[in-house]
Amino acid sequence: MTALEKSKPEPGLWKVEAPVPEIGPDDVLIRINKTGICGTDIHIWNWDDWAAHTVPVPMITGHEFAGTIVELGRNVTGLEIGQRCSGEGHLIGRDSRQSRAGKFHLDPGTRGVGVNVQGAFAEYLALPAFNVVPLPDAIDDEIGAILDPLGNAVHTALSFDLIGEDVLITGAGPIGIMAAAVARHVGARHVVITDVNADRLALAEKVADCRPVNVAKEDLYDVISELKMKQGFDVGLEMSGNQDAFDQMVGALVMGGRVALLGIPPGKSPVDWSEIVFKAITIKGVYGREIFETWYKMIAMLENGLDVRPVITHRFPVSRFRDGFEAMLSGKSGKVVLDWA
């Protein structure tokens, strides 16, 4: 089968011929139809320090996918050959305290498809049946291929009650933009999204009913007055990993504000803890998606009018995967989807 592989410890990915993976008794084999390129894949492409310390080589990358089940392991029940699906890319164990409490997303032994185990940038993917998420007809394969990052957005956005709240999202990358759409869908009052990249803010405005703010040019406090907020934002969703964005968010929150952090800072970052304490701010770190509550809620929202399709800005056949990665590396794209059909 054709696959995109990190074949050597240096920047790039290589198109290779690899054997179709063998499945175990609890796995299914999925014929991949569409895949999304994630920021994680860009780290692996660039072969930065994180990738070099995390990803064994050779490794087929990719974890955002939609496809069709073509083979079932002998223990698998409840799934069918021919069923369209996406799936959770975090492989978890069942023995930890967290897993035994049903909090699978908190299993400390989590391994990542396309990071620690062979991934989805391939014609076929072997996946534990447990991780499979069947797709309803209303969700086509290109949306199916971006459910993983939409799930990050949904998990973060649903961390706190957003109904009637004023929400600040820092970072208008694909995930921040989708979080804006989710916040609006669930009934936030004002949704403001910040970035320093004009292309991304323009895309945010196209995808979600939100107020984009270029913080390199505009003062966020002017926007707070313009929207007639009394003190500031009730809820912050940090989706940039940028220190200035986090500081600005803390400053712009109301007393008792709540913050969910998805963005990953590049290293240790200094925090003004006294401001957090005196404003009595609640901070929650967010990792991955709740397994499978996030998937349940996101599919329900997609079936009930949540539309994130415009966040997909580029579509390429897998033969042009380099163009796809270039679009991502430009920093101007939304989601980039590769077609494996």
Residues with catalytic roles: 40, 43
Which span (76-84, 134-142, 256-264, 292-300) binds ligand NAD, by CB under 6 A?
A: 256-264
Which span (29-37, 95-103, 183-191, 262-270) binds ligand NAD, by CB under 6 A?
A: 262-270
Report d(CA 121, CA 7) in Å as an integer: 13
Is residue 334 within the footprint of ligand NAD (CB under 6 A)? Answer: no
Contacting residue, 20, 196, 271, 283, with ligand NAD by CB under 6 A:
196
Asked if 114 and 93 touch (Cβ cutoff 8 Å), the reply is: no
Is residue 173 within the footprint of ligand NAD (CB under 6 A)? Answer: yes
Report d(CA 179, CA 156) in Å as an integer: 8
Contacting residue, 5, 88, 107, 148, with Zn ion by CB under 5 A:
148
Please, what is the minimum distance in Å from the beta carbon of residue 129 to ligand NAD? Answer: 23
DSSP state of 281: -
- Radius of gyration, CA atoms only, the chain: 20
Report d(CA 119, CA 131) in Å as an integer: 13
Element (H, E) at 142: helix 141-144
Q: For the chain, give percent helix, strand, coil, nearest 5.
A: 30, 25, 40
Please, what is the minimum distance in Å from the beta carbon of residue 226 to Zn ion? Answer: 34
Residue 214 CB burial class (10 angstroms; 0-12, 13-18, ≥19): middle
Which span (189-197, 270-278, 291-299, 316-324) binds ligand NAD, by CB under 6 A?
A: 189-197
Is residue 175 within the footprint of ligand NAD (CB under 6 A)? Answer: yes
Is residue 245 within the footprint of ligand NAD (CB under 6 A)? Answer: yes
Concatenated DSSP letters of 169-229: EE--SHHHHHHHHHHHHTT-S-EEEEES-HHHHHHHHHHSS-EEEETTTS-HHHHHHHTT-
Report d(CA 114, CA 341) in Å as an integer: 20
**Which tokens in the block code for residue 22?**
């063998």
**Which tokens in the block code for residue 291?**
């397994």
Is residue 141 within the footprint of Zn ion (CB under 5 A)? Answer: no
Question: In this complex, which beta carbon is closest to ligand NAD, that of residue 21 or of residue 36?
Answer: 36
Is residue 152 within the footprint of ligand NAD (CB under 6 A)? Answer: yes
**Which tokens in the block code for residue 9?**
């410890």
Residues 41-100 that bind Zn ion (CB under 5 A): 64
Please, what is the minimum distance in Å from the beta carbon of residue 204 to ligand NAD? Answer: 9
Is residue 262 within the footprint of ligand NAD (CB under 6 A)? Answer: yes
159 binds, among ligand NAD, Zn ion, none (CB under 5 to 8 A by kind): none
Is residue 200 within the footprint of ligand NAD (CB under 6 A)? Answer: yes
Q: What is the x/- site pattern for ligand NAD, positions 34-73, by CB under 6 A?
A: -----x----------------------------------
**Which tokens in the block code for residue 262?**
């998805």
148 binds, among Zn ion, ligand NAD, none (CB under 5 to 8 A by kind): Zn ion
Is residue 257 within the footprint of ligand NAD (CB under 6 A)? Answer: no
Element (H, E) at 317: strand 312-317
Asked if 127 and 30 touch (Cβ cutoff 8 Å), the reply is: yes
Which single residue brings its beta carbon nearest to ligand NAD?
A: 173
Question: In this complex, which beta carbon is closest to ligand NAD, that of residue 130 or of residue 287?
Answer: 287
Please, what is the minimum distance in Å from the beta carbon of residue 87 to ligand NAD? Answer: 16
Contacting residue, 128, 144, 151, 241, with ligand NAD by CB under 6 A:
241
Asked if 37 and 336 touch (Cβ cutoff 8 Å), the reply is: yes
Residue 310 CB burial class (10 angstroms; 0-12, 13-18, ≥19): middle
**Which tokens in the block code for residue 83?**
């069923």
Report d(CA 189, CA 209) in Å as an integer: 11
Is residue 38 within the footprint of Zn ion (CB under 5 A)? Answer: yes
324 binds, among Zn ion, ligand NAD, none (CB under 5 to 8 A by kind): none
